[in-house]
Structure 1
Amino acid sequence: MEIVKEKYAILGTLGDDEGFLTCSMHIAKKLGNSERIKPYPEFEAAAEDLRLGIISCLLVPGAYPKLNSFIMDSELAVSESFVEKIPALVLSGCHAVCPDQIDIIYHHPATTYLLSELDTTYRESSTVSSNPEACRKVMHNTEKSIALTNQLCADHYGLVTYKVLREGINMPWVCFTQNTQRVNTVI
């Protein structure tokens, strides 16, 4: 039996105008189940546009720490879920060799768990809204920072990959639509 995926007019997910560099944009493009993919600086902004009917679907990875807020939102409904492999998660920067010590490491909150696996010591970890943003921050602070990002971003920004932390994870993904079954209660 073939599973038929729903087709969405406009799918919103985490990304920016630089292309399909976030894991979310990459997976949205790979799925091919939308007429248009709209990038958002944060999942919450896309969720707001979904509530307003500006987009027809919100795509969120299972690793997103605030996924539950969308699941419990009475205005949203899970329309489908699936598992798809994300690009490799890597440690990267501008140095030819990974430094033993660094001032700051930039990363998306979904990758926080991987910080415990690093050999490099850092003074500060700074969460950013996306993998491309982590790379851009490193590009503006080349000597004192590194990024925990995906391989697509590291390659796009010309960063040196020091270590592959995950070769690619089978990630659960959730598509949300407006909750048309929402019951309005009168008090």
Structure 2
Amino acid sequence: METIKSRYAILGTLGDNEGFLTCSMHIAKNLNNADTIVPYPLFEEAAKDLKSERISCLLVPGAYPKINSFIMDSELEVSESFVKKIPALVLSGFGGKCPENIDIIFHHPATTYLLSEITTSYKENIAVSSNPEGCRMVIKNINRSITITNQLCADHYGLTTYKVLRKGINMPWVCFIKRLKEREL
């Protein structure tokens, strides 16, 4: 496994101000390779700040469906990549027993593949910007919804874990920096 060698002044990644609950914020904290970690509601917003040099690094998991947009962006370049295990991915909601039928299941687009493993019938699946957002939506829609989230979020928001979908998988991660003009030559 490649060792993390770079040190960044300000690393931006998916998260919010409630702590290190997203897989991205959790990994960023555990890497200990940034002086400051800034949460963003979308990776794209962090990329915008990277381009304008408000941050010095953007951390994105390989499972993010739109990672190619950063790889192909002429203003960005990959500074390093590595593999780190993410927290368990779980199906969660309120109550002691997983419902057989539900109106809505919330999930981050990176976990769309896991919908095929859910035995609960649902009318609608709604993509949310992050795992914490999925948990907050379940709280707003008690008895009508469940979420695919990580175990950190389920525990933080007091949700019941109905099923562990992945115990924690080795995830590829990519650090992006702003491309310097002289590197383009």
TM-score by length of 1: 0.96
How do residues 14-25 of structure 1 correspond to structure 2 at under 5 angstroms?
Answer: 14-25=14-25
Q: Residue 123 and residue 3 in structure 1: after superposition, are their counterparts in 2 closer, same or farther (change >3 A)?
A: closer
Report how far residue 5 of structure 1 moved: 1.1
Native 8 Å contact 2:4 2:31 kept in 1:
no
User: CA–CA distance in 2 between the matches of 1:5 and 1:31?
Assistant: 10
Task: Give ranges in structure 2 of 5+ residues lacking alignment.
Answer: none
The answer as to whether partners of 1:74 and 1:182 remain within 8 angstroms in 2 is: no
Given that residues 108 and 127 in structure 1 are in contact (C-alpha distance below 8 angstroms), is that contact kept between their aligned partners in structure 2?
yes
| RMSD (Å), alpha carbons | 1.2
TM superposition score normalised by structure 2: 0.97
Query: In the alignment, what sits opposite 2:53?
Result: 53
1:91-102 equivalent positions in 2, closer than 5 A:
91-102=91-102
What is the CA-CA distance between 1:94 and the residue it aligns to? Answer: 0.6
Query: Does 2:137 match 1:124?
Result: no
Shift of residue 140 of structure 1?
0.7
Q: How many equivalent residue pairs?
A: 183
Question: d(CA) in 2 for partners of 1:87 and 1:101?
Answer: 27
Aligned to 1:40: 40
The separation in 2 between residues aligned to 1:3 and 1:80, in whole angstroms, is 10
Q: List, as ranges, runs of 4+ consecutive aligned residues in structure 1 with deviation greater than 6 Å.
A: none
Q: Residues 13 and 40 of structure 1 are in contact (CA less than 8 Å); yes or no, is this contact kept in structure 2?
A: yes
Structure 1 pair 175/4, CA: closer, same or farther in 2 (3 Å)? closer
Q: For the residues of structure 1 that align with 2:4 and 2:141, how far apart are their CA atoms?
A: 46
Equivalents in 1 of 2:106, 2:113: separation in Å?
13
Distance in structure 1 (CA, Å) of the matches to 2:184 and 2:35: 30
Look up the match of 1:134.
Answer: 134
1:3 offset after TM fit, Å? 4.1
Secondary structure class of the residue paired with 1:149: strand
1:117 deviation in Å? 0.5
User: What secondary structure is seen at the aligned counterpart in 1 of 2:39?
Assistant: strand
In 1, are the aligned partners of 2:64 and 2:109 still within 8 Å (CA)?
A: yes
Rounded Cα–Cα distance in structure 2 between residues aligned with 1:4 and 1:22: 20
Q: 1:36 to 1:98 in 2, by over 3 A?
A: same
